[in-house]
Amino acid sequence: MELAKNNSQICILGIESSCDDTAAAVWYNNKICSNVISSQKIHEEFGGVVPEYASRKHQQNVVPTVLASLAQAGILKEEIDAIACTQGPGLMGSLLVGHSFTKGLALSLNVPYVNVDHVDAHVLAHFIDGDIPKLPFLCLLVSGGHTQIVRVNEDYILDILGKTIDDAAGEAFDKAGKMLNLKYPAGPIIDKLSEDADPLKFKFNTPNVAALDFSFSGLKTSILYFLQKATRQQKDFIEENKKDLCASIQYTIVSYLISKLAQAMDETGIREIGIAGGVAANSALRSELTSLGERKGAVVYIPKFEYCTDNAAMIAFAGKIKIEQQKYGTLSDVCFTRK
């Protein structure tokens, strides 16, 4: 089943369930009409996402979340023209809930569905609304599972110029936070605690990796060893220095990310730049990106906060592009956990 390539009235339901957020959104009349997210609090106490709990919660949340997104958009399910859903990467059990639900709903409504790559969707979130970047565009994608520098070419063809060889930037924030006894996800807490703290008080080694690739596992170890040594000398070291530790860790991660993006700008000559993914919500990263843009005479794009962390608006929009490219899913398509 195929739809008209450039139908501006098209109504697309987007569904996202790759990790611990169940999300649904409606794209209709060339704009996002609803963007609903059900987050899972259960993982906080475990210091990270527990895959089995995540899939059980998705199962409970998927129907109410989809119904809420349709209601918010004022759309009946019979008005849906196509469904876009995250195929991967992510946790298999979590992905399966959204993907299988999508196939079943598409079949019952007799509409096509499209598979969306979660990481690509984070980058494409820049093109949903507001100030739209000109192409080619360089995007630093920083989330809990991915860290990449992506070049967006004409027709939304994406090239990965560099990526992490181990942990992702969000993971570095979350794991460092765990060492500081912060709840999961620690990224936003570190961001908040860093306000008015000293980012230069503690120095951590930044990883040395070739070209435009990243590595965060060495940084994680260097923070761990530093904290172990410091707490042997002073038992309450972490509690006494928590804010400065947060600010110093944030400074280290952000400076590293920005230096790689600057290198990518020099190598490509591209002066349309942006950030995407959950860590793009970080206030230090946002302000450092703005400074980088000013230094290098580049136009800087930062997506709306609700399009940075996991959401289905980006999935619905990426689905619209897939429909324009006439790339539809089939019932035999399977989810994937890694790119």
Instruction: Return the residues of window 132-191 that contact ligand KG4 according to CB under 6 A.
Output: 143-145, 170, 173-174, 185-188, 191
173 interface partner picked from Zn ion, ligand KG4, none, CB below 5 to 8 A per type: ligand KG4
281 interface partner picked from Zn ion, ligand KG4, none, CB below 5 to 8 A per type: ligand KG4
Choice between 120 and 310, CB closer to Zn ion: 310
CA 112 to chain CA centroid, Å, is 26
Measured CA to CA, the distance from residue 219 to residue 30 in angstroms comes to 43
Query: Does 19 participate in binding ligand KG4 (rule CB under 6 A)?
Result: yes
- What would you report as the CA-atom Rg of the chain, rounded to the nearest whole angstrom? 20
Choice between 286 and 296, CB closer to ligand KG4: 286
Are the beta carbons of 15 and 24 closer than 8 angstroms?
Answer: yes
- Could you say which of 34, 40, 309, 312 contacts ligand KG4 (CB under 6 A)? 309
- Could you say which of 152, 173, 310, 311 contacts Zn ion (CB under 5 A)? 310
Question: Site size for ligand KG4, by CB under 6 A?
Answer: 19
Among the residue ranges 71-79, 155-163, 277-285, 331-339, the one whose residues contact ligand KG4 (CB under 6 A): 277-285
Choice between 55 and 143, CB closer to ligand KG4: 143
Choice between 186 and 273, CB closer to ligand KG4: 186
- Could you say which of 98, 162, 277, 319 contacts ligand KG4 (CB under 6 A)? 277
102 interface partner picked from ligand KG4, Zn ion, none, CB below 5 to 8 A per type: none
* Count of CA atoms in the C-beta half-sphere (13 A) of 12: 34
* Count of CA atoms in the C-beta half-sphere (13 A) of 131: 11
Residue 5 CA: distances (Å) to CA of 8, 77, 105: 9, 21, 22
Residue with tokens 């939304």: 156
Query: Does 278 participate in binding ligand KG4 (rule CB under 6 A)?
Result: yes
Instruction: Return the residues of window 90-149 that contact Zn ion according to CB under 5 A.
Output: 143
From the CB of 197, what's the least distance to ligand KG4, in Å? 14
Are the beta carbons of 104 and 62 closer than 8 angstroms?
Answer: no
**Site residues for Zn ion per CB under 5 A:** 143, 310
**Site residues for ligand KG4 per CB under 6 A:** 19, 143-145, 170, 173-174, 185-188, 191, 277-279, 281-282, 309-310
